[in-house]
Amino acid sequence: MKLGDFYTTAIEIGINNDPRTKDAVLQELARRKQAFDELSARDRELFDTESLRNPYSDSRILHGHAEHDVQNILAGIDIDVGEILLADTLRSKGTKIDLLLSHHPSGKALADLYSVMSMQSDILHLYGVPINIAESLMDVRIKEIERKLMPVNHARAIDAARLLDIPFLCLHTPADNMVAHHLQQLFDRENPYSLADVVDILRTIPEYRNAGLNGAGPQIMLGTTTRKAGKIFVDMTGGTEGAREIFESLTNGGVSTIVAMHLSEEHRKEAEKNHLNVVIAGHISSDNLGVNLLLDELAKDHSFEILECSGFRRFSRLEKRSE
């Protein structure tokens, strides 16, 4: 598969599994195109035209040509300078590596991470939060994340990949969409009675079971094993943690339990104040699940060799289907 096809297919898969629905995402892209058409020639020069077909600012080809052939992938949750040097060393020893695949963003995709966070408003609205409240609170949080990203040296890893000429791609929100969609469907179908049941369901999933064996398995952060799960919201996509003030509105909207990758202490206190149950599935394990589900879709019609690094472990559902 060509790098360009790998990238565009991954974005399409992310759109198809977006919690907002595919139609909502396509409408957003249409609005972007209209806004772009109304820009002056001067403003168009700095406009990210890739955003007209890719709604996820945190997922980009960071280095490499679209026509580059991809079969052997070094995949990691984080690909930084160390992993790029590792790839170069492995190549010098005869290991074939056509692509560096990172889950977490780098370069422009990291600098513009905050832009993808607006999707959280629409997702929150689906769970009973009035859209005006969701957008108001998220606007403040998005600006906060934008300020935090301003001083970061975004280009370090990309410069290393460029100097060593190793194609480099990051896929963040498409993979996060996969895990959010997968788990939400799972909990909606299984309808767990208690928080203990929620954790038990997570532990049946290879990525979470593997994390548990390494001391990082799912845990109940707020609540007890006997508490009723009630309405579950899987909060795992949209860039990074949203506004901590949103928990009151989620409670009012009928949500009883949040299943998240991680939760800061400030967010935990707000969730506790609003009587929410919180189950932490695990950050890296959830990232693993999302990337694995995405790779499964990409590998349905193409064969890839995956070399694991930087916290990534490959668990293929395709192998199970063929058995």
Spell out the domain ranges in the chain: 3-175+286-311, 178-283
* Each residue's pLDDT tens digit, 220-266: 999 999 999 999 999 999 999 999 999 999 999 999 999 999 999 99
Sequential DSSP letters for 25-59: HHHHHHHHHHHHHTS-HHHHTTS-GGGGT---TT-
Tell me the CATH architecture of domain 178-283: 3-Layer(aba) Sandwich (3.40)
CB contact set of 47 (below 8 Å; sequence gap of 6+): 36, 39
pLDDT of residue 319: 66
Amino acid at 41: A
Structure tokens, 181: 């969609």
* Each residue's pLDDT tens digit, 59-118: 999 999 999 999 999 999 999 999 999 999 999 999 999 999 999 999 999 999 999 999
Model-level pTM? Answer: 0.96
**Is residue 320's pLDDT more than 80?**
no
* β 219-222/277-280 pair status: antiparallel
pLDDT of residue 19: 97
* Each residue's pLDDT tens digit, 166-175: 999 999 999 9
Q: If pLDDT is split at 50, 70 and 90, which confidence band does 321 have?
A: very low
* Count of Cβ atoms closer than 10 Å to residue 116 Cβ: 24
Can you list the alpha helix ranges (DSSP code H) found in 38-172? 41-44, 81-92, 108-111, 119-126, 131-149, 156-164
